[in-house]
């Protein structure tokens, strides 16, 4: 196993922090991602991540930890997206696009000012693409707590979210406040996106949110199993990515490890593509009536 | 239905009553002065052409659409939130993605407590209830298949089990026969007729074609032109009656126990 696990891997402080935080982020993204996919909110998830960039770069500029910037911007954007309204698809698309443009413009300014201040590009790289090896140990408790809050919130909402995805009217007829549930879910999503922005970067956080969930939805058919499979495959990709990034110190160019986010994202995508290698579960026609069309006339 | 049971039912109070309901959508009055009642264990067809307001009426009863006038009474008292559990609902054809992680039994399980917060821990009692509901609608064969991969008729059965597992007194179905092949259509109608009889559940089913329902319908509520006419099929579906309702000449033609409503000259 030495070829994979370089000696000293677990003795390294940053690696231990990365494994811990990466694991938590992967579980939160995996569980919440299942609902993002079935609610068709991948775009919302990505928008929240983009807006989080603004918060993260702003926080860096004023000397705060980026996580708080990600979180504040993410939750504010979630509120704004909800306030803009869910009634009209087109209105929502246009408004999200406009808000997104403004947020990214501000992010460009903040990142530029940030590089002027410190004359390095390291900060912008960390905000955009993350690095689990530079997570400050001081923020670890806050990261764990946020992840736990988001996962718990979605677990408590799970049944209502499933009923709403089946049919919003069915949920409303049973007295569910669909709008309030949607808002609560969007806030949990913002927390999860902020966490993965810390771990693999704001730009790449969507990969960890959608990839494992999409993989799990191809392999499982019940909600509990989908959440479990999504969390597990996310953790597997994250941990393996950390190990590979640690090993890559010895790869060319020497002395510089490859970005851990790169490995995580590649593994997530590879896992998803692997599900296509597997034979589709159901090749037979769905019902006798459909089957009749295929039989020779 | 025999004379006596019909007599008995008229003496009974209405389980559901709509009184002078009017509905305005986007400033336009789409329904006005709609009044009818539904009794316990009765099968009522809500019939009318597409766009007549059948779905809107069901939404008013479900509390999803605020009427501009009139009131909905359940057991003689104005409808309130606590009546939600008395009404089972099967919405119009749902589009369910094949990758939706819900098996037929998960959908039925959501009928028990899908509207509540918290965790639903599995128990043998729960499993029994779900199995029973699936058996009642003949869905046990595909209980563990993903609901998005089922045929239209199979999905209808699962949604009916979802609506019935919480033991409502009334079942509202919005165009459950649309897009079904003939065989599934007959099976679903027979199933609903049996459920209404055996469990004394009042069924209110909307359809644009009344013919598949003629054998099970106790009463008809015919919606057209913003108004309703109600009574037995023979009373309501006549050339004179429907001409009055539509506001223009309509011919009712009966062939081989089937009814055709056609625009007149």
A contacts of B115 (beta carbons < 8 Å): 159-160, 163, 171, 174-176
Three-state SS at B72:
strand
Q: What average pLDDT score do residues A252-274 get?
A: 85
B contacts of A282 (beta carbons < 8 Å): 149
Distance CA A77, CA B183 (A): 51
Our count of domains for chain A comes to 1
The verdict on residue B152 lying in a domain is no
A161: nearest CA in chain B?
B114
Distance CA B151, CA B95 (A): 11
Beta strands at B170-174 and B77-78: parallel, antiparallel or unpaired: unpaired
- Please provide residue B13's backbone torsions phi and psi, each rounded to the nearest 5 degrees: -75, 155
Element (H, E) at B241: helix B239-246
- Between A89 and A46, where is the model more confident? A46
The verdict on residue B129 lying in a domain is no
- Please list the residues that pair with B262 across neighbouring strands: B251
Q: What is the pLDDT of residue A89?
A: 60
B contacts of A157 (beta carbons < 8 Å): 117
Asked which of A92-96, A189-193, B98-102 is least confident by mean pLDDT, the reply is: A92-96
The verdict on residue B184 lying in a domain is yes
The verdict on residue B200 lying in a domain is yes
- Please list the residues that pair with B88 across neighbouring strands: B171
The verdict on residue A287 lying in a domain is no
The verdict on residue A297 lying in a domain is no
pTM for the model stands at 0.87
- CB of B103 within 8 A of CB of B144? yes
The verdict on residue A184 lying in a domain is yes
Q: What average pLDDT score do residues A107-131 get?
A: 75
Three-state SS at B103:
strand
Contact A166 B115 (CB under 8 A): no
Which residue in B101, B110, B115 is closest to A34 by CB distance?
A: B101
Beta strands at B28-38 and B16-25: parallel, antiparallel or unpaired: antiparallel
Reported as a pLDDT band with limits 50, 70 and 90, residue B2 is: very low
A contacts of B181 (beta carbons < 8 Å): 289
Q: What is the pLDDT of residue A177?
A: 93
pLDDT at B213 over 90: yes
Contact A34 B102 (CB under 8 A): no
pLDDT single digits (tens) B70-90? 999 998 899 988 888 899 999
The verdict on residue A129 lying in a domain is yes
pLDDT single digits (tens) A41-79? 888 888 888 888 888 888 888 888 888 999 999 999 888
| Peptide bond connecting A32 to the previous residue in cis, omega within 30 degrees of 0 | no
CATH code for the domain of A118 = 1.10.3470.10
Which residue in A166, A220, A226 is closest to B94 by CB distance?
A: A166
Residue with tokens 């955009």: A128
Distance CA A76, CA A49 (A): 12
Which residue in A37, A166, A169 is closest to B107 by CB distance?
A: A166
Reported as a pLDDT band with limits 50, 70 and 90, residue A246 is: confident
| Model ipTM value | 0.90
B contacts of A287 (beta carbons < 8 Å): 151, 153-154
| Chain A residues with CB within 8 Å of chain B CB | 34, 37-38, 155-160, 162-163, 165-167, 169-176, 216-218, 220-223, 225-226, 282, 286-287, 289-290
Asked which of A120-124, A141-145, A185-189 is least confident by mean pLDDT, the reply is: A120-124
Residues spanned by the domain of A29: 13-277
Which residue in A37, A163, A221 is closest to B146 by CB distance?
A: A221
A contacts of B103 (beta carbons < 8 Å): 221-222
B contacts of A217 (beta carbons < 8 Å): 99, 101
Q: What is the pLDDT of residue B141?
A: 94
Q: What is the pLDDT of residue A119?
A: 55
- CB of B163 within 8 A of CB of B175? no
Distance CA A102, CA A109 (A): 11
Q: What is the pLDDT of residue B265?
A: 66
Element (H, E) at B155: helix B152-164
The verdict on residue B145 lying in a domain is no
CATH code for the domain of B254 = 3.40.50.300
- Please list the residues that pair with B172 across neighbouring strands: B89, B204
The verdict on residue A52 lying in a domain is yes
Reported as a pLDDT band with limits 50, 70 and 90, residue A28 is: very high
Our count of domains for chain B comes to 1
pLDDT at B259 over 60: yes
Contact A173 B116 (CB under 8 A): no
The verdict on residue A292 lying in a domain is no
Report DSSP letters for B29-49, one per residue. EEEEEEEEEE-TT-EEEEE--
Contact B62 A173 (CB under 8 A): yes
Asked which of A66-75, A98-107, B135-144 is least confident by mean pLDDT, the reply is: A98-107
A vs B, Cβ pairs < 8 A, gives: 97
Q: Cβ neighbours of residue A261 under 8 Å, at least 6 residues apart?
A: A129, A130, A131, A132, A199, A200, A201, A204, A241
Element (H, E) at B174: strand B170-174
A contacts of B188 (beta carbons < 8 Å): none
Q: What is the pLDDT of residue A100?
A: 83
- CB of B19 within 8 A of CB of B35? yes
- CA–CA min distance B201, chain A (Å): 18
- CB of A246 within 8 A of CB of A6? yes
Contact A162 B102 (CB under 8 A): yes
pLDDT at A84 over 80: no
Distance CA B180, CA B156 (A): 9
pLDDT single digits (tens) A188-234? 999 999 998 888 888 888 899 999 999 999 999 999 999 999 999 99
Contact B118 A156 (CB under 8 A): yes
Residues spanned by the domain of B254: 3-94+167-263
| Chain B residues with CB within 8 Å of chain A CB | 59, 62-64, 81, 84-85, 87, 89, 91, 94, 96-97, 99-103, 106-107, 110, 113-120, 144-146, 149-151, 153-154, 181, 183
CA nearest B147: which of B98, B89, B91, B95? B98
Q: What is the pLDDT of residue A47?
A: 87
Contact B119 A156 (CB under 8 A): yes
- CA–CA min distance B117, chain A (Å): 5
Distance CA A223, CA A200 (A): 26
Reported as a pLDDT band with limits 50, 70 and 90, residue A8 is: low
Which residue in B99, B114, B149 is closest to A217 by CB distance?
A: B99
Q: How far is CA B122 from CA A160, B107, B119, B125, B126, in A?
A: 17, 14, 9, 9, 7
pLDDT at A82 over 80: no
The verdict on residue A121 lying in a domain is yes
pLDDT at B10 over 50: no
B contacts of A171 (beta carbons < 8 Å): 114-115
Q: Which of B101, B114, B161 to probe the A interface (max A CBs under 10 A)?
A: B101
Q: What average pLDDT score do residues B46-66 get?
A: 93
């Amino acid at each position: 196993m030495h070829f994979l696990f370089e000696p000293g891997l677990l003795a390294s402080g940053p690696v231990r922090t990365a494994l811990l935080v990466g694991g938590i982020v992967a579980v939160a993204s995996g569980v919440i991602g299942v609902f993002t996919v079935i609610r068709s909110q991948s775009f919302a998830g990505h928008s929240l991540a983009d807006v989080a960039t603004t918060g993260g770069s702003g926080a860096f500029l004023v000397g705060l930890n980026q996580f708080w910037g990600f979180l504040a911007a993410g939750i504010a954007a979630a509120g704004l997206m909800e306030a803009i309204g869910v009634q009209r698809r087109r209105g929502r698309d246009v408004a999200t696009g406009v808000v997104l443009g403004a947020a990214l413009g501000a992010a460009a300014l903040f990142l530029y000012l940030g590089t002027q201040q410190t004359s390095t590009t390291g900060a912008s790289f960390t905000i955009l693409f993350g690095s689990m090896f530079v997570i400050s140990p001081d923020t670890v408790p806050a990261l764990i707590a946020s992840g736990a809050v988001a996962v718990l919130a979605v677990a408590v909402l799970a049944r209502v979210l499933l009923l709403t995805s089946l049919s919003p009217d069915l949920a409303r007829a049973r007295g569910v406040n669909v709008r309030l549930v949607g808002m609560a879910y969007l806030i949990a999503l913002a927390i999860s996106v902020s966490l993965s922005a810390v771990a693999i970067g704001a730009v790449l956080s969507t990969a960890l949110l959608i990839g494992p969930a999409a993989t799990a939805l191809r392999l499982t058919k019940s909600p509990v199993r989908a959440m479990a499979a999504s969390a597990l495959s996310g953790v597997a990709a994250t941990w393996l990515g950390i190990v590979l990034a640690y090993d890559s110190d010895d790869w060319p160019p020497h002395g510089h490890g490859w970005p851990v986010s790169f490995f995580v994202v590649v593994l997530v995508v590879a896992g998803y593509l692997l599900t296509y290698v597997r034979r589709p579960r159901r090749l037979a026609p769905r019902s006798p009536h459909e089957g009749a069309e295929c039989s020779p006339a | 239905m025999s004379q006596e049971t019909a007599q008995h039912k008229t003496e009974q109070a209405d389980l559901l009553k709509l009184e002078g309901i009017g509905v305005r959508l986007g400033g336009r009055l789409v329904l006005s002065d709609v009044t009818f009642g539904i009794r316990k264990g009765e099968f009522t067809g809500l019939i009318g052409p597409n766009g007549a307001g059948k779905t809107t009426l069901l939404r008013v009863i479900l509390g999803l659409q605020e009427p501009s006038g009139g009131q909905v009474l359940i057991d003689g008292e104005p409808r309130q939130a606590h009546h939600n559990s008395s009404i089972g609902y099967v919405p119009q054809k749902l589009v369910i993605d094949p990758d939706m992680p819900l098996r037929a039994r998960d959908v039925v399980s959501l009928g028990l407590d899908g509207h509540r917060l918290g965790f639903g821990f599995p128990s043998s009692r729960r499993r029994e209830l779900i199995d029973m509901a699936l058996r009642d609608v003949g869905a046990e064969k595909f209980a563990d298949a993903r609901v998005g991969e089922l045929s239209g008729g199979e999905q209808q059965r699962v949604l009916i089990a979802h609506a019935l597992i919480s033991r409502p007194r009334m079942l509202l179905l919005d165009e459950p026969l649309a897009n079904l092949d003939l065989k599934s259509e007959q099976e679903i109608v027979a199933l609903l007729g049996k459920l209404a009889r055996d469990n004394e559940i009042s069924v209110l089913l909307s359809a644009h074609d009344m013919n598949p329902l003629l054998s099970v319908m106790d009463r008809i509520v015919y919606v057209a032109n913003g108004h309703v006419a109600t009574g037995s099929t023979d009373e309501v579906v006549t050339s004179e009656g429907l001409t009055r309702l539509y506001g223009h000449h309509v011919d009712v033609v009966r062939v081989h126990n089937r009814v055709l409503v056609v625009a007149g000259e």
